[in-house]
Amino acid sequence: MSSSSSSTLAKPDAPPVPPREGPLRLSPRQIRFLALVRRECNRFMKIKRQTVGAPLLETFLYISVFGAALGSRIHTLHGYRYVVFVIPGLIMMAWAMNAFTNNASSILQQKFQRSIDDQLSSPASPLELLLAFSLGGFLRGGTVALLTFAASSVLVDLPVDHVLVLLVGLFFVGFFFSQLGVLVGVRAEQFDDVAVYQQFVLMPLIFLGGVFYSATLLPQPFETLTHINPVYYMIGIVRYGFLDYSDVNVALALLVLAVATGALFTVNLRLFQRGYRLRA
């Protein structure tokens, strides 16, 4: 009987193991962008008593002083209690001022520290850098505005009549002033430049835009001058969202605000693409 080589039996192929579902995986671009946004948020949250607490206290003082001092003399404006009439403007002012200040100071500070050079030479695109800076100021302003709204709702009965108009209006207001802060931060060469824009341009426009009064009560030519102020129309949009009252055409004002925001974003994106005044 001849010996033969032992044959081995082939094992059947094992069925494929389905991939295990793990946490959502982000693309490198998403990781870069989220890291940039987190850096901007951590920047103002590390000093939240200054960046969030101080503006909130300032707005609360406006409500207390103007509500107590003028509210006792001006009982109602257009059928609303005076303090209720001014709160929508204060909420818009809180979002606008904090969005502008955060972005202008953040960009200028990184220009001085030369840290923005590393970001411009990194794989992050100019669009990602611009959106990250913009969202930092936008979120800071939104945080202060939301806390202002919450505190105001505790103090007075603040209605919200048009939620959709209010959300869209506040979004464009916050994003517009975020872009304005980016533009000033890019063009500024020292911190005094940011202070000049904030104290001598932005603050007068906001205070003279109808935050604490109605333009219809002003004599000429001050009523006409108020209508030239672009912030007047932003306040009108927000006030309409809260109180269902506005001196302006809300639809037209929203359209113009959206176009202006898009134009300002385009200008800033072009500056980031060129590295205008960003590289030392």
In three-state secondary structure terms, 80 is: strand
Which residues are 114's β-sheet partners? none
How many C-beta atoms lie closer than 10 Å to residue 163's C-beta? 10
State percent of the chain over pLDDT 70: 90
Q: Are 253 and 106 in contact (CB under 8 A)?
A: no
Is the confidence at residue 169, as pLDDT, over 70?
Answer: yes
Residue 118 φ/ψ, nearest 5 degrees: -65, -35
pTM, two decimals, is: 0.87
User: Crossing angle for the helix pair 28-45 and 126-155, nearest 10 degrees?
Assistant: 40
Q: What is the pLDDT of residues 2-39, one digit of tens each?
A: 444 444 444 455 556 555 555 678 888 888 899 999 99
Mean of pLDDT values over 61-71: 75
Residues 241, 247, 248, 251, CA torsion sign? positive
In three-state secondary structure terms, 276 is: coil
Q: What is the pLDDT of residues 131-166, one digit of tens each?
A: 999 999 999 999 999 999 998 888 888 899 999 999
